[in-house]
Structure 1
Amino acid sequence: MSLVNTKILPFSTMAYKATEKDFVAVTEQDVLGKWAIVFFYPADFTFVCPTELADLADYYDELQKLGVEVYSVSTDTHFVHKAWHDASPEISKINYYMLGDQSGVITNNFQNMREGEGLADRSTFLIDPDGVIQFVETTCEGVGRNAAELMRKVKAAQYVRNHPGEVCPAKWEEEEASATLKPGIDLVGKI
């Protein structure tokens, strides 16, 4: 069953936040009221994961300007996240929240747990300020995600929310806002 257009479920966990140089408590209440990316990955100290997390870190300031908070999640603890942040040049760039989910509550809430492995799938969820999931992307183990494409999707979701009655077609870019579509009877069969 798709989680798109469903509301996030309650959770409570600890996270490592480098900019605060501390561990912080995070719940679903922290996610509400703003746009949020929940970025699941299988495990710390692995191979594809640090490339994805570092790529996302490169866009963090731009996401913040768009009112988007980022929460990375794996089933490792917040202690392991800090150790990885201290040990890896790529991970040391991260300033967003790194949520520990050793209980698997968050991963299971998002129906993202690998059966019998205790690891999260490589998945991204965009959540609107009302706590509603607007899109989901999941890739296989060996295929990393692209933060530039994620940025495009975030901007498109925000555009659609702010412009009722318009939709963003394939390859829509913010600079080409006039290229949106207004679905209706006159458009049927014309694309």
Structure 2
Amino acid sequence: MFSDRKEAGEILAEKLEKLRLENPVVLAIPRGGVVVGYEVARKLKAPLDVIVPRKLGAPGNPELAIGAVAEDGTIILDSSLIDYLEVDEGYIKKEKERQVKEIKRRLNVYRGRFSRLEIERRDVVIVDDGIATGATIRAAIASVRKRKPASLTLAVPVAPPSTIEKLREEVDRIVCVSTPEPFFAIGQFYTDFRQTTDEEVIRLLEKNRREVAKT
């Protein structure tokens, strides 16, 4: 059990520091993942940026994910669920466009006048405050792979063992503090799991930029 995301980030950062990554970059998934990612970036003395995958909701049931998409349009689909629900290509295309538009809106809010960080040939660490099914983070991983990092590490405080095993082949390494069972929701492993605000995300990104500029 973690007291809050800050503590989870500090513990995760201790584990990541032992990897001695060269020229690392931290990409955090908003909103809660940025609180964790900031602590990781601070420990690694690394720049921090955001990556925003979004799930593709099923027709009539937006909470049910039939896939996920990243900012560059990289898409991961659950083919078996799509076939079962008989979702047509037209719906998927429209839902993808809608979610990419929302991703770009959010990135504009978070980054402001700053461009995304260049990650080619750098050791990239994708951070979130936890993973449940891994559906959306797979789109983030696939998108980052296209940008040709030197290595790709997935780092989270908590996730179920089955999800970790599914994701192992998609990254170079996974660092996860706790893999408890049974696993019902990420929030059950935090004492304080209050929602992170956009303002907090922006503040931490700006704070990281100032800290990196001093090094």
TM-score by length of 2: 0.30
TM-score by length of 1: 0.33
**Which structure shows the bigger proportion of residues in helix conformation?**
2
